[in-house]
Amino acid sequence: MQPILSCRNVMVDFSGFKALQGVDLQVESGEILFLIGPNGAGKTTLLDVICGKTRSTDGEVIFEGNISLTKLPEQKIVHKGIVRKFQAPSIFLQLTPFENLEIAMKQKKKLFSIIFAKMSVSQKAKIDELLNKIGLYEVRDELAQSLSHGQKQWLEIGMQLIQEPKLLLLDEPIAGMSGEERNKTGELIEEIAKKCSVLIVEHDMDFVRKFSTKVVVMHEGKVLCEGAMQDIQENEEVKNVYLGRSG
Ligand SMILES: Nc1ncnc2c1ncn2[C@@H]1O[C@H](COP(=O)(O)OP(=O)(O)OP(=O)(O)O)[C@@H](O)[C@H]1O
């Protein structure tokens, strides 16, 4: 089966500083791929390139075998099926989880008129189903500002899932979460991966150990190695540049 995403020799040069120096990486369908590596390795920059926030200076990013993302604007990349949850919150705190998802759904339709239209029964059912999935059904009518940190993050993820993506990009999704919230987030990601590949930048090695299907280690703008977490942990080079110090 062809990978859902292929990065080929991707380079990013920030006015002379080479943040990415020829990254080759593939994401397979249904995979939970963790991108790890020391600070400044280029992980976030790679996510930025994939979602169109940063332009690569060389190389190619191919989606679903034949769609080149390299020159597409961010919104077009979303429409192709790649969404990204940023660390900075984007939910409306004065609205309920249901209303937040309603807005996300209407944005997806992209029709201005529909913003004033009533939701159909099936649209409401879809939002309820999603609320169940992200564990917020019980608090669907409470103001988002009263949610815990973890619940807010899940709502953010829900806002992305309403786009029905094929690839979800997450940047340190469990930062600031309690132990229980971390586990719930991992389980949510496993549930999401049944329909959508997930590429995650993460520093928490316990979380990576528990929920990864594959791990890619980046160092100094390149892929150092990739494989199952068990093998990665044994790798001497990885121990030297990263795990030996922080994991
Ligand atoms: N817009 C920019 N202009 C110049 N340099 C940048 C820019 N964005 C990132 N960099 C540099 O590129 C390198 C890679 O940064 P990046 O944020 O991708 O690393 P990272 O692996 O995500 O690190 P961390 O784990 O700390 O988030 C860093 O040295 C960073 O300072």
Query: Contact, 229 vs 212, CB < 8 A?
Result: yes
Give 153's contacts (C-beta < 8 A, 6+ positions apart): 173, 177, 181, 185
d(CA 89, CA 95): 14
Sign of the CA dihedral with 37 first, then 41, 44, and 47 last: negative
Strand order in the sheet with 214-219: 82-85, 167-171, 197-201, 32-36, 214-219, 222-227
Tell the residue nearest (CA) to atom 16 of ligand 1.
Answer: 42
Helix (H) or strand (E) holding 109: helix 97-109
What are the φ/ψ torsions at residue 104 (nearest 5 degrees)? -60, -40
For the whole model, what pTM was predicted? 0.92
Decide: 17 in ligand 1 pocket, CB within 6 A: yes
Q: For atom 3 of ligand 1, which residue has the closest CA? A: 14
The single residue listed with the structure tokens 């913003």 is 115
| C-beta of 44 in contact with ligand 1 (< 6 A) | yes
pLDDT of residue 240: 87
CA of 14 to the centre of ligand 1 (A): 10
ipTM entry:
0.96
- Residue 182 in contact with residue 207, Cβ under 8 Å? yes
**pLDDT < 50 regions, the chain:** 113, 246-247
Q: Find out whether the beta carbon of 40 lies less than 6 Å from any atom of ligand 1.
A: yes
The closest residue, in CA terms, to atom 1 on ligand 1 is 14
Dump pLDDT digits (tens) for 82-126: 999 977 668 999 999 999 999 888 776 655 545 556 678 888 999
State if residue 42 touches ligand 1 by the CB under 6 angstroms criterion.
yes
